[in-house]
Amino acid sequence: MQHSAVPELAHTHTRPIHWVATATAVAGVVALSSVLQPDHANAAQTAGAETRTAHTAVTAPDPDHADFPLECGPVKAIVVKKATGDLDGDGRPETVAVVHCDAPMGTPPDGVYVLTRATDTAQPRVVATLVDPRDRQTVSEFAVHDGTVEAGLLGYSSPDVPSCCPDITDHATWRWDDGTFIRSTPAGAQSV
């Protein structure tokens, strides 16, 4: 068996200039690291600061990966609006999602759900239902501001009102208080 000779490659031979360049680069890194030391007063953090940092590093839950308590039969549930914010003051963002069944006709009622998760790899989970689809309401306006969820709602005065034509307009806000979301409606917000 004959072996073919491999030509020597010029870039595989080290020359003195390569060693000089490497030594200069290493010396530069060492010198720079001795100059750029952290401030001794801020070099160590307390455990509490690390815990807060870990909480804020969690990204808001993605509602496209959540299981909503919504029965849609042969069609799927779709997220039509979403907003994020720290609603309970723990330093981690929650996501509020407006969801309804992807009905081919009519105006399907909306559900408004609050999602959270413990870590970036955990699946989002529903922790509160702010508007239940069984109440036959549609969300017209929606926002999260300063820990408060705000929504404009369209509804019906009776079961006889057709789904196409809501006849009640309502405005509601929800705020986290003592372990639950409290709903309030501004005075005079409901109209027919």
1-49 pLDDT, tens digit per residue, is 444 444 444 444 555 665 555 555 555 544 444 444 444 333 333 344 3
- Is 43 inside a domain boundary? no
Each residue of 111-168: pLDDT tens digit?
A: 999 999 888 888 999 999 999 999 999 999 999 999 999 999 999 999 898 888 899 9
At 58 the pLDDT is 79
Type of residue at 140: S
- Is 21 inside a domain boundary? no
State pTM to two decimals. 0.67
- Is 86 inside a domain boundary? yes
Torsion of CA 162, 167, 169, 175, to 10 degrees: -40
- Is 7 inside a domain boundary? no
Q: Around 38, how many Cα atoms within 13 Å sit in the side-chain half-sphere?
A: 6
Number of separate domains in the chain: 1
- Is 45 inside a domain boundary? no
Neighbours of 121 (CB within 10 A): 7
Range of the domain at 75: 58-184
| Spatial separation of the C-alpha atoms in residues 35 and 31, rounded to whole Å | 7
At 16 the pLDDT is 60
- Is 29 inside a domain boundary? no
At 48 the pLDDT is 42
- Is 50 inside a domain boundary? no
Q: How far is C-alpha 88 from the geometric centre of its chain's CA atoms? A: 14
| Residue 173 reports pLDDT greater than 60 | yes
Neighbours of 117 (CB within 10 A): 22
At 24 the pLDDT is 57
- Is 141 inside a domain boundary? yes
